Amino acid sequence: MDLYVHLEGRDNLAKQIYAQLRGAILSGRLRRGDRLPPTRQLASRLSVSRNTVSLAYEWLTSEGLLAGRTGAGSFVEGAPVARPTKARAGVAIRHRAVWDAIDLPTPREHAPRYDFGVGMPDAALFPFDTWRRLLARQIRPSLLKADYGDPAGHPKLRAAIARHVGVSRGVNAGADDVLITNGAQQAFDLIARVLIEPGMRVAVEEPGYPPPRLLFESLGARVTAIPVDSSGLDVAALPDDARLVYVTPSHQFPLGMPMSHARRTALLAWAERRNAVIIEDDYDSEFRFGGRPLETLQAIDRSGRVIYVGSFSKSLLPSLRLGFVIAPPSLQAPLQAASYVAGWYAQWPAQAALASLIDNGLLARHVRKMRRVYADRHDRILQTLTADFKKWLIPVPSVTGMHLAATLRSRSVRLERELAECALEKGVAFDRLSSYCTSDRPRTGVVLGYGAIAASKIDEGLRLLHGCFVKTYATEY
């Protein structure tokens, strides 16, 4: 390995080398079994004599920190494992206060046994063998170039996505309209970079998906939360000065109802009157279990004001970090420029592999399989909530996606929090509906994802959750 050693002056060189290597071993930066450079090589790199390096190695060996192996070299041996030292604190560098207000997600120390977490697909059903084969085909000298590729993404994937969403969602787009992103959140980031100026009014749903709202606020937007009812976003509540609206019309997040056709047309008409832009987040509409699918906003947009965002985090895996944005012609060049300066995130081989997965019909086959799996889990949860939780919960009707929401008949945030704490103690995890709200009197309830929990665990998980409802409400009354 390359080994960094800094020497000052020409005195005590062996002692300086010894001290720095010893510190690296004791701090854990050099681990047991790591091979040190040959003495001749390190001496040449440091411009010292070989005897100087040999002496330092001998001192470390005498302390049991190095061991020589005949014909192999010197290896770290018997060092106590210590945590790597942290960087020096130094001065407190001033930063924007907005970043202090964002709570980062923290991984649980122990995974809950009954995980009703939201937004997580069933990784066990991912077509690993197929993906591995398609990806391996792309990692060849003839296909991997030394350049960074087009900031808009792999041309084959852009064309495949245009066909895919055209067939499956009725989206009007060609390959040139598609920009590949590092998941949906990067799509929102690029859109925000291009459109938002400090002080601009942006409207989001209440309750709603937090990351876009936090992103817009971080860029200096004045974000207004617009209430959602059984028909979707309340268009009449939109402020006149809003110039950007973020919505999830096909499957409102997190409640689950679709935006009615009347609301869709009203929103488009409002945007045209106010010269506003709409971000349509179509995050999991491929998993529709019943009813006639509603058209996307993009498909019925006649004035070019809708930016359509999708990803493969739900249909495949979030860790692939592959998404896309389909924008009106006037925004395509600015978005590509934003992608250029923001870093070209998505991996080129993975983009090409995904193009093959789509073009060969393998993605559609996988989605059909997952739709059946999720429909079964959805129905099982809904039946149990309707039968056993009706005293406390009102399920929100939904026929799409990977989660189901139910509102508490009591709007007590304290009760909702106690229910979540009780459930977690029993190994049951779910999302609190109030966590998606920003108002002083948030909606309360449970949001139950069924992507990450096996069907065999649903009944027991809900039985334990039922016990928490009985216990919490008995304590309350």
Q: Report the half-sphere exposure of 50 (CA within 13 A, side-chain side).
A: 5
- The amino acid occupying position 65 is L
Residue 125: pLDDT over 70: yes
- Is 114-122+365-476 the same fold as 13-76? no
Tell me the pLDDT tens digit for each residue of 430-475. 999 999 999 999 999 999 999 989 999 999 999 999 999 999 988 7
Please give the pLDDT value at position 336: 95
In contact, 116 and 448? CB cutoff 8 Å: yes
Provide the Cα torsion 19, 23, 24, 29; round to 10°: 180
Please give the pLDDT value at position 87: 60
Give the integer Cα–Cα distance in Å for 185 and 193. Answer: 12
Residue 346: pLDDT over 70: no
Q: Which of 87-101, 117-131, 145-159, 168-182 is least confident?
A: 87-101
Sheet harboring 403-408: ordered strands across? 393-395, 403-408, 445-449, 431-432
Tell me the pLDDT tens digit for each residue of 259-292. 999 999 999 999 999 999 999 999 998 999 877 7
In contact, 255 and 207? CB cutoff 8 Å: yes
Q: Thinking of the domain 126-360, which architecture would CATH place it in?
A: 3-Layer(aba) Sandwich (3.40)
Q: Thinking of the domain 13-76, which architecture would CATH place it in?
A: Orthogonal Bundle (1.10)
Section 303-327 average pLDDT: 95
Please give the pLDDT value at position 88: 63
Please give the pLDDT value at position 72: 85
CA distance between the termini of the chain: 67
Tell me the pLDDT tens digit for each residue of 373-431. 999 999 999 999 999 999 999 999 999 999 999 999 988 999 999 999 999 999 999 99
SS3 244: strand
CB-based contacts of 342: which residues, under 8 Å, 6+ apart?
A: 186, 189, 190, 193
Please give the pLDDT value at position 111: 86
Average pLDDT, the chain: 92
The residue with tokens 């110039």 is 243
Give the integer Cα–Cα distance in Å for 301 and 454. Answer: 39
If phi > 0 it is left, if psi is from -120 to 50 it is alpha, else beta; for residue 276 that is beta
Tell me the pLDDT tens digit for each residue of 182-209. 999 999 999 999 999 999 999 999 999 9
Tokens of 325: 């944005």
**Residue 464 CA: distances (Å) to CA of 124, 135, 257, 377, 459:** 24, 42, 27, 17, 9
Q: What is the torsional sign of CA 225, 227, 232, 238?
A: negative
Tokens of 47: 């411009």
Section 71-99 average pLDDT: 75
SS3 content of the chain, % helix, strand, coil (to 5): 45, 15, 40
The residue with tokens 């809904």 is 382
Q: Which of 83-87, 112-116, 192-196, 203-207 is least confident?
A: 83-87
Residue 81: pLDDT over 60: no
Residue 313: pLDDT over 60: yes
Section 146-153 average pLDDT: 84
Please give the pLDDT value at position 292: 74
Please give the pLDDT value at position 85: 55
Give the integer Cα–Cα distance in Å for 367 and 58. Answer: 62
Please give the pLDDT value at position 147: 74
CB-based contacts of 217: which residues, under 8 Å, 6+ apart?
A: 98, 223
In contact, 161 and 352? CB cutoff 8 Å: no
- The amino acid occupying position 421 is E
Q: How confident is the model at residue 359 (pLDDT cuts 50, 70, 90)?
A: very high
Domain ranges of the chain: 13-76, 114-122+365-476, 126-360
Fold category of 114-122+365-476 in CATH = Aspartate Aminotransferase, domain 1 (3.90.1150)
Give the integer Cα–Cα distance in Å for 58 and 116. Answer: 57
